[in-house]
Structures are given as C-alpha cells and as structure tokens.
Structure 1
Amino acid sequence: MPGTTLLVMSDSPGDVFEPLAGLEGVGSAARAARDAVDVLLRDRGLRKVGSDMTAEALLRGAHASAALAGSPSTLEEVRRGAGDALAVGAVRMTAELMSLAPRADTAPVQVWTRLHQLAAVDLGSDDQLGHLRTSREPLPDDIPGLPPAPPADEMWERLSGLARTLTLPTKAPALVVAAIVHAELAVLRPFPTANGLVARAAEHCLLVARGIDPVAVTVPEAGHLELAGSYAQGLRDYAGRGLVGVRDWLLRSCEVVTLAAERSPLNNSAAQGK
C-alpha cells in the first residue's frame, strides 16, 4: 500500500515526498496548477485580496466539502446558517482554517484533531471530538466507496509517520504534499466520523501554509466536488494500486487545484468589474 511505502520512506533521512513528485507527469501538472493560481493572484502580490473574498471562498469550500460528504444543503442555506450538521461542521472548520494553517507543518496531529473537534460537534458524542480511534472501537465507514479502514494499530503507525514527514524539509511541490496528506487521512480514517471533511480541510491548510494560496481565495473543495465521480475511485487506486495509484491521485489533485482557481470568487468579482 502507498501509505506503507510512505511510512517506510519516512524512517529514512531522505526526502519523502520528492520521489512522488517525480512520478510521470506529476511535475509538469503541478507547475501548470501553480500557474493557474498565479494567474488568479496576478503573479503573486499584485492583486489586492480583501477579507471578504477569503471568507466567501472558505464558505464555498465548506459547502462543497459537505456536499461531497453527503450533505443536501444548498450554498444559500449554508450562507444563512441553515445547513445540516455536515455543512455546519464544515463551516465551523473553515472559520478556523487560516489560524490553523501556520501549524499544519509543525504540529499536524494537533491541527487534524482540532479540525475534527470543529467538524464533528453535531455528528457524534462529545467524547469523540478530536478523538483518534482505538482498537476497541469499530472501524469507521464514513467515506462511501473506500475499502475498509486499516486497524487502529496500523492507522496510528502510519499517521505518526505521516506527521513526522511533514516536519521535515522537502523539495516536492506543496501541492504534492497536500494531496498525499489528503489521501492518507481519507484512507486511514483516524476519527470515528467526519474523516472526509477533515482530510479535505487538512489539504486546504497545507495549500495555504506552503504558499500555493496563502490568502485562501481558491476553492479546492469545489474542485473535488466537480470531480466527484472520480473521488472514491481515486482514493481506492491510491490505496490499492501502488505508485500508479499514487501518480493518478496526484494528477487528479493538480486538476483540482486548477479548478480551485477557476472557482475563486475573485473571478466573479473580475467579471463584475470589481
């Protein structure tokens, strides 16, 4: 399994993510996705971004992530605060995303558990909030279409390895790192509930923290929703097809980031002459 490969690599002193960035087609796709964000931001720093644009992008992302998790709430319902539990939890997460992003590299487990605390308030009991599952608990099954989650001991080992790698330097593009973290969290499902919401928010945190979109005006969750037909299959391939599956997930993630730039509210503002 690719998670096992990542874990083994993380025990060595070398760069864990760089070889994955070197898989066929990934480097050029990551550069193209970065270019799409640069165009949106007018070559970085040349375009003013107000807090209203960031808030709108995060709201759209919360709605898209909840919809991918099965929420029936519309964007307007979410905007009014009238969404279902999944949507409300996603909004609660994105409200803290910018404050959590600076710790996404230095204290990743704490960030992931905090995201779960925010996402799952209305999805389970209080003692489950931010709680990493143990072997005494049933395996979570909250991301449709995935194979069974690994046992708790394997989950803990792989999660620890993933967290370690994030604190080490890498030459890999930030997009690659964020995409791997998303896939690992989704496949491992470390929490009793809301694993998909947490995985997508963790990816978004890293895209902010590692400079792809430091002002959070792209909407990666909307990209995942737009490509929803390949979401579960992409994660199944990541979990079961070795480096081929990892490569395909990374290529899909590059497409997601390109779509994230296209779906930014900045584009709406430009169209309206703002």
Structure 2
Amino acid sequence: MGTTADPLAVLGSLPGVADSVAFVRKAVDQAYGHRVMRRRSDEVASEAALRGARGSAALAGADWALEEIRRRSDFSVDGESRTVGAALRLTAESGQLLGVWRQSPLQALARLHLVAAGGTAPDETVGRPRLAGEPVDEPLLQAAEFPLPESSEVVARLDGLADLLLAGSDAPALVVAAVVHGELLSLRPFGAYNGPLARAAQRVVLVGSGLDPKSICPAEVGHAELGRAEYLKALRGYVSGTPEGMAAWIAHCGQAVGLGVRESVAVCEALQRGAA
C-alpha cells in the first residue's frame, strides 16, 4: 500500500474508486431519505440484520430461505444450522462493538470470534489468531485453493491493520470497510468462521464511520446476490495487491452495499404498504 502516512487514502485515489464511493453515498442517502425511516427505522434495521445474516450464511455454505431462518429457534443441530446461528449472532453483536472497535480492533475481532464460535470450538482456540499447524475450516476459500498465510504473517498483518485503523484515515468508509473485509477474509486468522466474521467487521466499519449509522444497508445481502464466483474473483484481486485488483475488490464491495440498500428500500416500501 505504499509508504505514505495514510495508505488507505491512496486506495481511494485508484481509478474507478471515487465512482464506487459516490454510487454508495447516493444509494445510502436514498435509503435514509425514505419516509418510512422517520418513524420505523428500528424495524428496517431489524429486517436488514436478518437479511444480512442470511446472506452471510449463504456465502459460507448455508443458503437457507429467509422464512426458514425466521421459523427456526435451534441453530445447533448440524453444520449448516451452526453457520446460520453464527451469522445471526455476529450481526447482532456487531452493533454492540463500536466503542471497542475504536479503542482496540483486535479485541473487537476476538469478541466477534467468540460470539461466532458459540461454544462449538475448543476453548483454547477461541478469540485468538491461529498458531502454526492449526487447521482452518473455511470451505469456500479452501475449495477455491486460496493460499493460506502462515500464522506469523497473520499476526504481523493483523497488527498492521489495527495500527492503520487506530491511526485514522481520510479514506472513504467504503475503502476502509473493503480493506478490513478483504484482509480478514484472505488471512483467515481464526480456525473457523472467518468469512462471516470478515463480513461482520465490514458492517462495523460502515456503521461506525457514520455512512450507515442505523445499520440498514446490509452489504452481506449484496455479496450473496452477486454470488460466490464473483466474490472469489474480486477477492483474488485484493489478494494480488495490484492497483487494478484492489480497485476491483473495492468496486465489488460497493456493488454489494448498493444491493443491500436496494433490499432495505424494498423493505421500506413493504412497510409503507403494510405488507411487512
């Protein structure tokens, strides 16, 4: 990312990124400007959380219908139900971690992993970066044969990411959120649930930045709608570290936010009609 004091801001100047940032800003403004948001924003946020969790779980291999998630109360029966449960818990927890995130991003990530694991992982592995030789259960990236960074690289890059976040940046929220998402997804710092955790961290950044303060723009919906193939293609761009690849990943994340906004605007319209 260069040697500038604000490397994230450099990413904001890559070709096409300004257009993605403007697109997202316009889309988010449209959602917040809907008349339903004046009195029923909590309902929209609750629905956005549910749909976002469904989208995140779908990307992680548990593509359940929304009504099935509404109906179920037990999310510990099998692998898919645990994935859905983890996504639901992460989405709920992400809104409670803004203060911790601002003070200590690594502590917030540890908390997110604890919440995601929900008692399904060995206690000694929960909430800490994986050690050398420890396995990683991340089927989506394993099937796509993404290289798994060594544990020493994981620790160094997590520390570097935390330093960047704590230093602050003039980069747009979309850029910061995309970098956090891409870095966590490519590093896979924990033994499991890295994908849902990375998407929850993206949500934390978008909310905490003030771009989406009420958390009504579920990017996870958009990532799922764009599909696994496009998700992995864009992530390969991020992993490449090239300007073109980084810009493509940021643009992909922007598209996902835009589709999430579209989903919430549809929820607003349904509430206005009395259909939801």
After TM superposition, give the deviation of residue 68 of structure 1 in Å: 0.7
Q: Is the 8 A contact 1:140 1:189 kept in 2?
A: no
After TM superposition, give the deviation of residue 251 of structure 1 in Å: 0.9
Query: Are residue 166 (structure 1) and residue 162 (structure 2) matched?
Result: no
**1:142/1:164 CA distance change after superposition, 3 Å:** farther
> Which of 20, 27, 30 pairs up with 2:18?
27
Q: Is the 8 A contact 1:139 1:148 kept in 2?
A: no
Equivalent runs, 1:247-262 vs 2, <5 Å:
247-262=247-262
- Report what 1:222 is aligned to: 221
- Report what 1:116 is aligned to: 113
Seq. identity, %: 36
Higher deviation after alignment, 72-81 or 55-64: 72-81
Give 3-state SS (helix, strand or coil) of 1:23's partner: coil
Task: Give the Cα–Cα distance (whole angstroms) in 1 for the partners of residues 217 and 92 of structure 2.
Answer: 15
Task: Give the Cα–Cα distance (whole angstroms) in 2 for the partners of residues 67 and 245 of structure 1.
Answer: 24
Task: Give the Cα–Cα distance (whole angstroms) in 2 for the partners of residues 44 and 76 of structure 1.
Answer: 26
Task: Give the Cα–Cα distance (whole angstroms) in 2 for the partners of residues 177 and 44 of structure 1.
Answer: 29
Question: For residues 158-177 of structure 1, what are the alpha-carbon distances to aligned partners after superposition, in whole Å with 9 as ceiling and x for unaligned?
Answer: 11000110011211111110
Aligned length: 265
In terms of fraction of residues, the more helix-rich structure is 2
**1:61/1:115 CA distance change after superposition, 3 Å:** same
RMSD of aligned residue pairs (Cα, Å): 2.2
**1:239/1:64 CA distance change after superposition, 3 Å:** same
Higher deviation after alignment, 186-195 or 237-246: 237-246
**1:267/1:17 CA distance change after superposition, 3 Å:** farther
**1:271/1:46 CA distance change after superposition, 3 Å:** closer
> Which of 90, 93, 97 pairs up with 1:93?
90
After TM superposition, give the deviation of residue 273 of structure 1 in Å: 7.9
> Which of 53, 70, 74 pairs up with 2:65?
74
> Which of 128, 132, 139 pairs up with 2:129?
132
- Report what 1:233 is aligned to: 233
Task: Give the Cα–Cα distance (whole angstroms) in 2 for the partners of residues 267 and 122 of structure 1.
Answer: 39
- Report what 2:194 is aligned to: 195
**1:67/1:273 CA distance change after superposition, 3 Å:** closer
Task: Give the Cα–Cα distance (whole angstroms) in 1 for the partners of residues 104 and 226 of structure 2.
Answer: 30
Question: Counterpart amino acid of 1:50?
Answer: S
Give 3-state SS (helix, strand or coil) of 1:259's partner: helix
Question: Counterpart amino acid of 2:252?
Answer: R
Q: Is the 8 A contact 2:219 2:259 kept in 1?
A: yes
Task: Give the Cα–Cα distance (whole angstroms) in 1 for the partners of residues 189 and 70 of structure 2.
Answer: 29
**1:44/1:236 CA distance change after superposition, 3 Å:** farther
Task: Give the Cα–Cα distance (whole angstroms) in 1 for the partners of residues 139 and 104 of structure 2.
Answer: 25
Normalised by the length of structure 1, the TM-score is 0.89
Equivalent runs, 1:58-69 vs 2, <5 Å:
58-69=49-60
Task: Give the Cα–Cα distance (whole angstroms) in 2 for the partners of residues 168 and 24 of structure 1.
Answer: 25
Question: Counterpart amino acid of 1:86?
Answer: T
Query: Are residue 37 (structure 1) and residue 28 (structure 2) matched?
Result: yes
Higher deviation after alignment, 207-216 or 82-91: 82-91
